[in-house]
Chain A
Amino acid sequence: MSSALWQLTLTRLRSFVREPSAVFWTFGFPILLIVALGIAFRNRPPEPVDAAVEAGPGAEEMRAALAAAPGVKARLLPAGEARAALRTGRAAIVVRPGSPVTYEFDPTRPESRVARLVVDEALQRAAGRRDPVAAVERQVAEPGSRYVDFLVPGLIGLNIMSSGMWGIGWVIVEIRQKKLLKRMLATPMRRGQFLFSFVLMRMAFLVVEVPVLLVFGRLAFGVPLQGSFALLSGLALLGALAFAGVGVLVASRARNTQTVNGLINLVMMPMFLLSGVFFSSSHFPDLMQPLVKALPLTALNDALRAVMNEGAGAAAVLPQAALLAGIAVVSFALALRIFRWN
């Protein structure tokens, strides 16, 4: 490596690690997000069904029968209060004793439909119903299927995107705005080396960024890595190159950091929402799917998730890898053509 390229890369690394806020946003913030979201969406034991029993003859016996059943919380309430509890969601169902027993519930609320089945089952069983078919239960929790398992690869992808955009796009424009770029162009420095130092800087950080999130996810939440680490690293590298290219592209014309701020947000915001960082991109309508799938962050997240959660091999993530490589090549080529050197 030429000495100038080495010194330029060192300059980038030093400027970064000596800026505490930059270090926090790159390394600390994603970890905080994993902790916060991992706790908020942790897997809990199934919620008990909230049933309100309307006061009246036979109501207390009915409440006792329901309370004895597993997974049911029953309260005895006057008629008016029971209805109010149903309306405000404090109860999923109102049971009115009598013959026949009346179930009042809103069938559009999933927990009410569940309550209707569970309450009926408990009452029928207490009245002596027997099952004609014998059945046993085996409860499973598939590794890699929890929300935090979904989240960690998404955050790795998000981090690769945002450090590329801010760490390259914003920093290049800052250097241009401060006329440091002009000062360096007044030396025999080669332009290609200046840009390439940013790519090298990103690779150096990738070596830290990705393992930090993987190890933290593993230690704190037991997030598994089903596939190969080498494949995951290769995908992260392709993702970093794609976003390095997009970062240089957004920086190629902007004269000041306010402009590039806007451009970066314009590029990142749609991917932040559409590319399946926090929730699956399959929620979007079929009409939008071709667009969603064409976004580099969607490709990166889908590929990272396939490797981490499903143990996918290289062949399975080839389309995403090809998309990322293509975006890297096209964005770099375009950026070099239009780059504003002075």
Chain B
Amino acid sequence: MTDLAIRCRGLVKRYGSEVLAVDGLDLDVRRGECFGLLGPNGAGKTTTVEILEGLLLPDAGDVEVLGSRWTSGATALRERLGITLQETHLPEKLTVEEVVRLFRSFYRRGRTVDEVIALVQLEEKRRAWFEKLSGGQKQRLAVACALVGDPELLFLDEPTTGLDPQSRRQLWDVVVALRAAGCTVLLTTHYMDEAERLCDRVAIVDHGKVIALGTPRELISRMVGREVVEFAASHDGIDEAALAGLDGVHSVRRMASGFALTVDRVHVAIPSLLALVEAKGATLGRLSTHSATLDDVFVALTGRQLRE
């Protein structure tokens, strides 16, 4: 038995003749890890996930999920997966309990209805209709429907998009608990903080390809450095070349107004930056530093902001 929950090679999916949604994507997800597919809207995340889930047929490529292929024994494979779609409209006038019972009935074995409702903390809402739930509660019910079969592999497609911060945190708690219980999780998100918080490893996807892969810490230190310094200065003499020569500066990027420097040691970089500013006779418009995030990784890789 392979230790990979998902293995896919050379995945290609076209919509019509124009749009190449997935462009030769490779992916390995290990058993027991929480894996994040990160990317902007339209990067091909959802298409990739739906191919892995057996809901879409790829135009080319090879997909293996839990050691099986979708071409044989699909129903048996479905028994072992839990899936949430990007948006789920469950029956409006069914209660939480009725919806969970309906989905439980599709699986031969799995958790009890009470267990699942407790897992997603919807005990108080069990007799409320789906249409009366808040966005966060609806999303947790969608996750509950994915958990009824006690899946080995759970797919979560943008589970917290559009939710308020408290609902996001509640959902994260559910994912952390599942992950701790040994469930493999593949989630897509365009929230970098979500990926940093939940994922053991992430793949950054853009234009249907994986452009970076690793743990969130690895990606940040490899691509960006540890800190980002942003500033604006009122002088033409301060340019990329001058900045790149400063002590401790990794890379320089010109922004709409001012520059962003990625640095390893902020206590070395800042004094040398200030010295440069003074030498040129310029004044600083603003100066700020923050720890590098996956957002900075994405910008460093593509030159674009993630959420545009």
A binds B: yes
Question: Is B94 in contact with A4, judged by CB distance below 8 angstroms?
Answer: no
The CA of A183 and the CA of B101, in the complex, are separated in Å by 15
Contacts of A61 in B (CB 8 A): none
The CA of A7 and the CA of B98, in the complex, are separated in Å by 9
The CA of A11 and the CA of B145, in the complex, are separated in Å by 15
The CA of A4 and the CA of B106, in the complex, are separated in Å by 6
Is A3 located at the chain interface by the 8 A CB criterion?
yes
Q: How large is the interface on B (under 10, 10 to 19, 20 to 34, 35 or more residues)?
A: 20 to 34
Is A188 located at the chain interface by the 8 A CB criterion?
yes
Question: Is A179 in contact with B89, judged by CB distance below 8 angstroms?
Answer: yes
Interface string of B90-118 (1 = CB under 8 A from A): 11111000100111011110000000000
Is B83 located at the chain interface by the 8 A CB criterion?
yes
Question: Is A19 in contact with B93, judged by CB distance below 8 angstroms?
Answer: yes
Question: Is B102 in contact with A8, judged by CB distance below 8 angstroms?
Answer: yes
Is B75 located at the chain interface by the 8 A CB criterion?
yes
Is A178 located at the chain interface by the 8 A CB criterion?
yes
Question: Is B94 in contact with A186, judged by CB distance below 8 angstroms?
Answer: no
Of all chain A residues, which has the CB nearest B108?
A: A188
Question: Is A186 in contact with B91, judged by CB distance below 8 angstroms?
Answer: no
Interface residues in B67-91 (C-beta closer than 8 Å to A): 75-76, 78-79, 81, 83, 85, 87-91
Most buried by A among B78, B90, B94, B105: B105
Q: A3-B105, A186-B78 are in contact. Are A179 and B94 (CB under 8 A)?
A: no
Contacts of A178 in B (CB 8 A): 89
Cross-chain contact of B85 among A10, A15, A183, A190 (Cβ < 8 A):
A183
Main secondary structure of the interface of B (DSSP, over half): loop
Main secondary structure of the interface of A (DSSP, over half): helix
Question: Is A6 in contact with B105, judged by CB distance below 8 angstroms?
Answer: yes
Is A316 located at the chain interface by the 8 A CB criterion?
no
The CA of A190 and the CA of B101, in the complex, are separated in Å by 16
- In angstroms, how far is the closest chain B Cβ from the Cβ of A184? 7
- In angstroms, how far is the closest chain A Cβ from the Cβ of B47? 13
Interface residues in A2-35 (C-beta closer than 8 Å to B): 3-4, 6-8, 10-11, 14-15, 18-19
Question: Is B94 in contact with A15, judged by CB distance below 8 angstroms?
Answer: yes
Is B55 located at the chain interface by the 8 A CB criterion?
yes
Q: A11-B98, A11-B102, A187-B103 are in contact. Are A179 and B108 (CB under 8 A)?
A: no
Question: Is B91 in contact with A180, judged by CB distance below 8 angstroms?
Answer: yes
Interface residues in A152-197 (C-beta closer than 8 Å to B): 178-180, 182-190
Contacts of A180 in B (CB 8 A): 88-91
Contacts of A18 in B (CB 8 A): 93, 129
Is B53 located at the chain interface by the 8 A CB criterion?
yes
Cross-chain contact of A7 among B56, B81, B89, B102 (Cβ < 8 A):
B102
Cross-chain contact of B149 among A4, A7, A11, A187 (Cβ < 8 A):
A187
Cross-chain contact of A179 among B85, B102, B103, B145 (Cβ < 8 A):
B85
Interface string of A308-342 (1 = CB under 8 A from B): 00000000000000000000000000000000001
Q: A14-B98, A342-B55 are in contact. Are A188 and B106 (CB under 8 A)?
A: yes
Of all chain B residues, which has the CB nearest A4?
A: B105
The CA of A10 and the CA of B79, in the complex, are separated in Å by 22
Interface string of B128-169 (1 = CB under 8 A from A): 010000000000000001000100000000000000000000
The CA of A4 and the CA of B102, in the complex, are separated in Å by 7
Q: A186-B78, A186-B83, A186-B85 are in contact. Are A15 and B106 (CB under 8 A)?
A: no
Contacts of A11 in B (CB 8 A): 91, 94, 98, 102
Contacts of A185 in B (CB 8 A): 55
Q: How large is the interface on A (under 10, 10 to 19, 20 to 34, 35 or more residues)?
A: 20 to 34
Contacts of A184 in B (CB 8 A): 106
Contacts of B83 in A (CB 8 A): 183, 186-187
The CA of A272 and the CA of B106, in the complex, are separated in Å by 39
- In angstroms, how far is the closest chain A Cβ from the Cβ of B70? 12
Question: Is A7 in contact with B101, judged by CB distance below 8 angstroms?
Answer: yes
Of all chain B residues, which has the CB nearest A188?
A: B78
Question: Is B106 in contact with A189, judged by CB distance below 8 angstroms?
Answer: yes
- In angstroms, how far is the closest chain A Cβ from the Cβ of B185? 16
Question: Is A182 in contact with B55, judged by CB distance below 8 angstroms?
Answer: yes
Question: Is B87 in contact with A179, judged by CB distance below 8 angstroms?
Answer: yes
Interface residues in B11-58 (C-beta closer than 8 Å to A): 53-56
The CA of A14 and the CA of B97, in the complex, are separated in Å by 13
Contacts of A183 in B (CB 8 A): 83, 85, 88, 90, 145
The CA of A11 and the CA of B106, in the complex, are separated in Å by 13
Contacts of B149 in A (CB 8 A): 187-188
- In angstroms, how far is the closest chain A Cβ from the Cβ of B73? 11
Contacts of A3 in B (CB 8 A): 105
- In angstroms, how far is the closest chain A Cβ from the Cβ of B56? 8
Question: Is A182 in contact with B85, judged by CB distance below 8 angstroms?
Answer: yes
The CA of A217 and the CA of B264, in the complex, are separated in Å by 87
The CA of A186 and the CA of B93, in the complex, are separated in Å by 21
- In angstroms, how far is the closest chain B Cβ from the Cβ of A3? 5
Question: Is A187 in contact with B91, judged by CB distance below 8 angstroms?
Answer: no
Question: Is B94 in contact with A187, judged by CB distance below 8 angstroms?
Answer: no
Q: A11-B94, A11-B98 are in contact. Are A187 and B106 (CB under 8 A)?
A: yes
- In angstroms, how far is the closest chain B Cβ from the Cβ of A316? 43
Question: Is B105 in contact with A179, judged by CB distance below 8 angstroms?
Answer: no
* Interface of B toward A, CB cutoff 8 Å: 53-56, 75-76, 78-79, 81, 83, 85, 87-94, 98, 101-103, 105-108, 129, 145, 149
Q: Can you sample 23 A-B contacts with CB below 8 Å? A: A4-B106, A11-B91, A11-B94, A11-B98, A11-B102, A14-B93, A14-B94, A15-B92, A179-B89, A180-B89, A182-B55, A183-B83, A183-B85, A183-B88, A183-B90, A184-B106, A185-B55, A186-B54, A186-B78, A187-B78, A187-B83, A187-B149, A188-B78
7 further contact pairs, Cβ within 8 A, besides A8-B105, A183-B85, A183-B145: A8-B102, A10-B102, A11-B91, A179-B87, A180-B90, A182-B85, A188-B106
